[in-house]
Every structure is written in C-alpha cells, then in structure tokens.
Amino acid sequence: MTKRLYLLRHAQAAPSGTGISDIDRYLTDKGLGDAAALGKYLSSQNLKPELVLCSSAKRTQQTLKELSTSFDELNVQKSVDIYHASAGQLLGMIQDCTSTQSIMIVGHNPSIYELAAMLSTQGCERVLSRLSQGYQPASLSIIDCECESWAEINPDHCTLSELVNPLDYNAPERPTRWM
C-alpha cells in the first residue's frame, strides 16, 4: 500500500532580529503570495492531504492559511512540538498517525529538509538532484511511502516523487533579468 507524505517548509518570513520573537515572525508579501500560489498548484494537481500537522509558529500558520484557501476544508492539527522538532522527532510524529493515507507537515528548516533528505532514498535523478540543492522557503517535497501503516515507514521504501518551490508554481511570466 502506498501512503503519501507532503513536507512543506513555511513560506518566506520576515528576517529575524527585527524585535519580534522567532515564533512570532510573520510572512513577507512574497511569502503570502507563494503560499497562496502553492495552494492553487496543489488543487490544480488534485493533491490534498487528509491530515495536516502544522507548527504553532506564526509563519507556518500563515503559510497554511494562505495555502488552504484553495481547498474546501483541511483536517489540521497544530503542534508546538513541530517548532523545535528534529527530523527524527518529526518522523516519530508521522509514525504516530493512524488511519490516514496522506499527511502534510508544515514546518521549519533544517528539520523539514533533513527529513525530506532522509526519506528520499529513491526517485528520478532530476528530482533527487533538486533536493541536493537545498530547500528554500515554500519548498514542498512529495514522498510516496510503501507501507501498510505510518508506524512501518522505512526510508528504503520511500520515493521522492516531486519537489517544487516558488519558481515552479509562482514565477513571474517574464523574469526581469531577461528584460
């Protein structure tokens, strides 16, 4: 049985050191636009997670809010634990999920990128190569996992089927550097 995992790094946030606590950092205008465009992209591709696990940080909540405007309803669980979680802890949260075929985690670097890399042992060379180039804000990995239950998820049986970032779904029609 194949289960699907969506790993999303929050969209572009205001820089740290602006007098706002890290957990309260908010999305920039670009981040808001990227998150909304990602929601439209997912909807157009018929990609909708059954369950969304989202960090309690403001920037992840805003990312999810903008993304979710493209869907009727999403089953969302907010978790303060995702905010400081390591890749291993995120994997443990996934393994604790039951009776769902697809999960999205909206989280933070470096853990969200590290988890994507850990679970991406297979896939086409083009997609795996993109993953090795980093994980910019609003990047989304789609990983297909061959397992009966999330408790049995095994990196050796996971395939990175897609990796998209804002240049894929929200790029200007005509890049300014070519004008």
Q: Is the pLDDT of residue 113 over 80?
A: yes
Residue 77 in domain: yes
Residue 108 in domain: yes
Residue 178 in domain: no
At 77 the pLDDT is 96
Q: Is the pLDDT of residue 173 over 90?
A: no
Residue 177 in domain: no
Count: domains in the chain: 1
Q: Is the pLDDT of residue 179 over 60?
A: no
Q: Is the pLDDT of residue 53 over 70?
A: yes
3-state secondary structure string, 80-131? HHHHHCCHHHHHHHHHCCCCCCEEEEEECCCHHHHHHHHHCCEECHHHHHHH
pLDDT in tens, 72-110: 899 999 999 999 999 999 999 999 998 899 999 999 999
Residues present in the chain in total = 179
CA 112/CA 118 separation, integer angstroms: 10
Cβ(166)–Cβ(172) below 8 Å = no
**Residue 92 lies in domain:** 2-171
Q: Is the pLDDT of residue 129 over 90?
A: no
Q: Where are the alpha helices (DSSP H) in the chain?
A: 29-44, 58-68, 80-84, 87-95, 111-119, 125-131, 166-169
At residue 24 the predicted structure's pLDDT band, cuts being 50, 70 and 90, is very high
Residue 179 in domain: no
Cis preceding-peptide flag for 137 (omega within 30 of 0): no
At 29 the pLDDT is 97
Residue 154 in domain: yes
pTM: 0.94
At 176 the pLDDT is 62
Domain containing 81 — which CATH number? 3.40.50.1240
CA 15/CA 29 separation, integer angstroms: 13
Residue 93 in domain: yes
